[in-house]
């Protein structure tokens, strides 16, 4: 019987955790952080957001040490609460996780279609979307070793590039740090508000947990997440401040969806634009790759548990990859990308993803507390120190951030109102109803079929032996 291969090491766990967050959409989110705060002090809110995510990663680490499986998040919730809650939340999580590919592909296609004109803007964008989504799906199809190697190369190139550009910017631009410290914008309320947006810079760090069955040691998952958050905190703190100081006031209020390209032109001229376009491709492919890698494993595990059709649990006989899950998610990503191309609502998906992440972090912290009560003697290779203090802080912080997101108004960094975020809450509520109905009415059908099949096989065995 074909099984998942245990080949991933710490460097790939780190690159996968960090790579999901290293997306083109993060340039926009980073600039929004910089406009809420005084731009030169954006690093404060980014570090605060990173600290909050570090607390959450500790919850994921303890839970993964308890259940090192590809079905991780579903099994955490199922053990702490019940299977129905786990299925409903898990299904929602997978759908929105792969939806981020749509938002990311839209931003990447905006960069490329504006540079390489083929037919017209919309057709060009869709061609670029299709090309990169299919390209990443092919890499994932061929096996975890190749996928992990690609992830390592792209992620570490991206991190190095952002650090080098930031250092160069600091050496050539005037950073008005003392004036920023005296600004009326520099308040605790703005620090926390900007940190709420800054959480999006780390979105997806925990998506590495479904790879627990493919690491050489499942303990690497928790360690890799924490290292990735630390690296992202430093790199984003540097690059967001650099990008803000490298843009003019007019450019900051222009509302362009590709501020990093404008920044590159200011800094290096046309050669810089070309180089940044190449790095945008790397950033998006890195994020695509990490997203498809992890969501396909989660879908595979859910099918293995008879939550999705059994066909999704099929592994390729040669590559040991969940090829049906990969192909299904490929189709879904293309549909979402086309929808965003028509509506241009990429920021809506981004805000929804940030809100869902906050909710998941709260749920995971609650799972830690409940499982400590339900399974106090279960073996845990990692246990969060200070009792329940850190899980409680995580619950309070991310509940507040989620409520703040829903009550907020989304604007571009020029200040233009795009939509009221209560619409995000309503759409998420509709999603929750849909996944709940799926759990109540569709999942029992799959489980009954699996039970009947198991009984049939048991009846046949005595006959064969006779």
Query: What is d(CA 209, CA 218) in angstroms, rounded to the nearest whole number?
Result: 9
Query: What is d(CA 127, CA 340) in angstroms, rounded to the nearest whole number?
Result: 14
DSSP string, 248-259: -HHHHTS--S-H
Domain that holds residue 55: 10-465
What is the reported pLDDT for 466?
Answer: 45
**Tokens, residue 93:** 């999580």
Residue 100 included in any domain:
yes
Which residues in the chain come in under a pLDDT of 70?
1-4, 70-71, 114-119, 254-257, 412-415, 461-466
Cβ-based neighbours of 91, under 8 Å, separated by 6 or more: 302, 307, 435, 438, 439
Residue 60 included in any domain:
yes
pTM for this model (two decimals): 0.84
**What is the H or E stretch that residue 26 is in?**
helix 25-36
What is the reported pLDDT for 159?
Answer: 92
Considering only CA atoms, give the Rg of the chain.
Answer: 22
What ranges in 254-411 are assigned the alpha helix state H? 259-268, 270-304, 323-343, 346-374, 389-407
**Tokens, residue 256:** 């362009």
What is the reported pLDDT for 50?
Answer: 94
Cα 283 → chain centroid: 13
Query: What is d(CA 300, CA 313) in angstroms, rounded to the nearest whole number?
Result: 5
Residue 4 included in any domain:
no
Query: What is d(CA 20, CA 205) in angstroms, rounded to the nearest whole number?
Result: 6
Half-sphere exposure of residue 223: CA atoms within 13 angstroms, side-chain side? 10
Domains in the chain, number = 1
With both helix axes pointing from N to C terminus, report the angle between 72-80 and 346-374 in degrees, rounded to the nearest 10: 50
- Where residue 254 sits, what CATH number does that domain have? 1.20.1740.10
Enumerate the β-bridge partners of residue 60: none
**What is the H or E stretch that residue 167 is in?**
helix 144-172
What is the reported pLDDT for 305?
Answer: 86
Cβ-based neighbours of 114, under 8 Å, separated by 6 or more: 258
What is the reported pLDDT for 130?
Answer: 85
Residue 5 included in any domain:
no
pLDDT digit string, tens, across residues 353-374: 878 888 999 999 999 999 999 9
Residue 1 included in any domain:
no
SS3 label, residue 462 = helix
Query: What is d(CA 65, CA 12) in angstroms, rounded to the nearest whole number?
Result: 18
Residue 2 included in any domain:
no
Query: What is d(CA 335, CA 329) in angstroms, rounded to the nearest whole number?
Result: 10
What is the reported pLDDT for 374?
Answer: 93
Query: What is d(CA 288, CA 138) in angstroms, rounded to the nearest whole number?
Result: 12
Residue 3 included in any domain:
no
**Tokens, residue 15:** 């690159």
């Amino acid at each position: 019987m074909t099984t998942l291969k245990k080949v991933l090491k710490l460097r790939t766990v780190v690159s996968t955790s960090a790579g999901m967050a290293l997306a083109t959409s993060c340039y926009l989110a980073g600039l929004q952080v910089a406009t809420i705060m005084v731009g030169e002090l954006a690093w404060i809110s980014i570090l605060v957001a990173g600290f909050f995510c570090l607390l959450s990663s500790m919850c994921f680490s303890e839970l993964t040490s308890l259940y090192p499986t590809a079905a991780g998040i579903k099994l955490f919730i199922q053990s702490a609460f019940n299977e129905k809650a786990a299925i409903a939340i898990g299904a929602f999580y997978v759908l929105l996780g792969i939806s981020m590919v749509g938002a990311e592909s839209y931003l990447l296609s905006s960069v490329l279609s504006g540079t390489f004109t083929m037919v017209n803007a919309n057709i060009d964008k869709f061609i670029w979307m299709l090309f990169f989504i299919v390209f990443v799906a092919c890499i994932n199809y061929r096996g975890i070793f190749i996928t992990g190697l690609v992830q390592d190369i792209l992620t570490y190139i991206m991190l190095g590039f952002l650090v080098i550009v930031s250092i160069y910017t600091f050496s050539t631009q005037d950073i008005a740090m003392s004036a920023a410290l005296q600004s009326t914008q520099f308040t605790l309320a703005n620090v926390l508000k900007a940190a709420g947006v800054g959480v999006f810079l780390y979105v997806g760090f925990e998506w590495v947990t479904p790879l627990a069955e493919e690491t050489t040691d499942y303990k690497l998952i928790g360690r890799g997440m924490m290292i990735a958050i630390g690296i992202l905190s430093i790199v984003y703190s540097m690059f967001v401040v650099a990008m803000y100081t490298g843009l003019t006031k007019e450019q900051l209020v222009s509302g362009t969806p590709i501020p990093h390209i404008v920044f590159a032109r200011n800094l290096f001229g046309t050669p810089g634009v070309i180089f940044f376009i190449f790095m945008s491709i790397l950033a998006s492919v890195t994020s695509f790759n990490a997203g498809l890698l992890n969501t396909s494993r989660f879908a595979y595990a859910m099918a293995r548990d008879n939550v999705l059709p059994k066909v999704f649990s099929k592994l390729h006989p040669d590559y040991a990859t969940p090829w049906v899950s990969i192909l299904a998610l490929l189709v879904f990503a293309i549909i979402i990308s086309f929808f965003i191309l028509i509506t241009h609502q990429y920021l809506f998906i981004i805000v929804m993803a940030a809100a869902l992440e906050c909710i998941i972090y709260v749920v995971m912290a609650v799972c830690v507390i409940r499982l400590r009560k339900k399974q106090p003697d279960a073996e845990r290779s990692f246990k969060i120190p200070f009792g329940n203090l850190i899980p409680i802080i995580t619950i309070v912080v991310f509940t507040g951030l989620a409520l703040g997101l829903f009550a907020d108004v989304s604007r571009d960094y020029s200040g233009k109102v795009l939509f009221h975020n209560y619409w995000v809450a309503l759409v998420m509520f509709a999603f929750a109803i849909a996944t709940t109905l799926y759990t109540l009415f569709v999942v029992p059908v799959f489980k009954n079929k699996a039970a009947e099949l198991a009984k049939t096989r048991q009846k046949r065995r005595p006959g064969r032996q006779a």
